[in-house]
Structure 1
Amino acid sequence: MAQKNRTVIDPRQAERRRSLIYKILAAVVLVIIAVGVTFWAINSNKEDSATGGSATPTGVTENGAIRLTGAPAGTAPKAVLTVVEDFQCPACGAFEQQFGQTLVELGKRPDVAVDYRPIAFLDRGQTEYSANAMNASLCVAEALDKTGDKADWLKFHNLLFAEQRAEGGPGFTDSELNSMAGKAGVQGVKQCITDKQFGKWVADQTSEVMKDPGFKGTPWVQLNGKTINPQSPTELTDLVNAAAK
């Protein structure tokens, strides 16, 4: 009677196979954990998403302004008051002190739109005061674009002038800008501010305004496209009333 061949198992080979299997399983687990962490990080920062400085804001008008108006959606106000400003500009700060409250009241009217059009043309040398402040204002406007209510943007705008630093200085830090946004009631803009999300758009918009033959500096005030130079809040209101008829 023939004997059956008996397979001899080398215990060392079996151990190597088990070790290889364990290593493969461990690697799979690590990959799964890594994917999970990445997914969590992306979704936890969804509000703070950034695009490395190349994003285009959606919460602005066709000419890049943040508009405040009491006009119903889809209607065109008869009087459009445009204020081109630089957040580093001392003259813009003085203009805000003199005319700021009047602009607030005009911006509530259904027949008037107040278009705030920031630019960043005063940065010199190493400072990026104007560009960083302008980018932050766009981050705030973008965060509020879903509601269509720019009241909190105006609070942020006013804080930038109320706490304005000396021209030519370093300006506000990213942390300070984010803190001011919080004071204005706006959250979820930290990453946008830190990453200078609208950096390229800020530069392009500034260049576009500065190429305009009518641009002589800031503040530049226009009413229905024509430059005006009101000397008092009353005169400004009278000019707007005449344009709104």
Structure 2
Amino acid sequence: MASGSSTRDARQAKAAQMRAAAAKAEARRRTLLVSGVVLALVVVVVGVFVVVNTTRRDNATSSAANPANITDNAFVDGESSAPVTITVYEDFQCPYCAQFEAANRTQMAQWVKDGDVKVEYHPIAFLDKASTDEYSTRSLNAFGAVVNSSPDAALDFHNLLFENQPAEGGAGLSDDQLVAYAKEAGADEAAVRTAVDEATYEGWTKRVTEASSKAGVTGTPTIMVDGQTVNLTAADDTATLATAVQNALDAAGK
């Protein structure tokens, strides 16, 4: 009898061990299954995040409208027949650009009036980080709206933005202020308001900024005369620009 009892006990112990091993195996299987599901969900979430952000970037750089009255990413002041071209890369948040404009604007306007020069303005948005509300992009978007709907007001609006330039490090001009200055310059207020509220030309601001980088522009203001960079001694240097323009006029026989 003892032998039969021992055999039965041994079988029961072995069965218990097998049940315990099976339970552990099932627990491991469930853990692996749950881990796999969690990992899959993480992959899906990350994938969706990447797709959404890539789509946003693509929409910003490729889908937005281009303003009318822009030639090769520039707004041109002056006659196409002018013998000399001044190219100006500027950012509406750039204080040195404001200094350049204050010092040289009158002379450039006179050259344009005389038919000697045309000025190609390339406003770009390098300095969004210099404000708390991406003012470079917002102001350039507003400029695009003015150029598109009221090109005759574009230069006056450009000038007003520099004359009323906000300090770096804080908030830029509000959207309402941008629209008010556009109206003061003579632009179509309703058209500008819509483009400002909807950021219609935000994609264009990114494209022209990227184009300037590809063209080798690394800072603002960057000034060129007939394609040659003018190395100003300071932002308010007028003599160097005047000399470069005169040399170009001489070379053109003007």
Q: Would the TM-score normalized by the shorter structure come out above 0.5? A: yes
SS in 2 for 1:241: helix
Higher relative contact order (CA 8 A, sep 6+): 1
Tell whether the 8 Å contact from 2:132 to 2:170 is kept in structure 1 after alignment.
Answer: no
| Gap regions ≥5 residues in structure 1 | 1-52
* Deviation of 1:234 (Å): 4.0
SS in 2 for 1:115: strand
**TM-score where L is the length of structure 1:** 0.69
SS in 1 for 2:241: helix
Q: Which of 138, 141, 153 lines up with 2:144 in the alignment?
A: 138
Distance 1:136 1:158 in 2: 13
Tell whether the 8 Å contact from 1:123 to 1:168 is kept in structure 2 after alignment.
Answer: no
Q: Which of 226, 246, 249 lines up with 1:224 in the alignment?
A: 226
Tell whether the 8 Å contact from 2:222 to 2:229 is kept in structure 1 after alignment.
Answer: yes
* Deviation of 1:126 (Å): 4.9
Q: Which of 107, 111, 115 lines up with 1:110 in the alignment?
A: 115
Tell me the equivalent position of 1:190.
Answer: 193
Distance 1:185 1:119, change over 3 A: same
The answer to whether structure 1 residue 97 and structure 2 residue 97 are counterparts is no
The structure richer in helix per residue is 2
* Deviation of 1:207 (Å): 1.3
1:51-78 Cα offsets, whole Å, 9 max, x none, are xx7111221112x111000x2xxx4432
The answer to whether structure 1 residue 67 and structure 2 residue 73 are counterparts is no
Tell me the equivalent position of 1:20.
Answer: none
State the AA in 1 paired with 2:192: V
* Deviation of 1:163 (Å): 0.8
Tell me the equivalent position of 1:179.
Answer: 180
Alignment of 1:150-165 (within 5 A): 150=152, 152-165=153-166
SS in 2 for 1:153: helix
Distance 2:227 2:110 in 1: 20
| Gap regions ≥5 residues in structure 2 | 1-62
Distance 2:141 2:114 in 1: 28
Distance 1:78 1:223 in 2: 11
1:4-40 Cα offsets, whole Å, 9 max, x none, are xxxxxxxxxxxxxxxxxxxxxxxxxxxxxxxxxxxxx
* Deviation of 1:182 (Å): 0.9
- After the TM superposition, which parts of structure 1 deviate over 3 Å for at least 4 consecutive aligned residues? none
SS in 2 for 1:57: coil
Tell whether the 8 Å contact from 2:230 to 2:240 is kept in structure 1 after alignment.
Answer: no
The answer to whether structure 1 residue 212 and structure 2 residue 215 are counterparts is yes
1:166-204 Cα offsets, whole Å, 9 max, x none, are 113221111111100111111231101211111101111
Tell me the equivalent position of 2:64.
Answer: 54
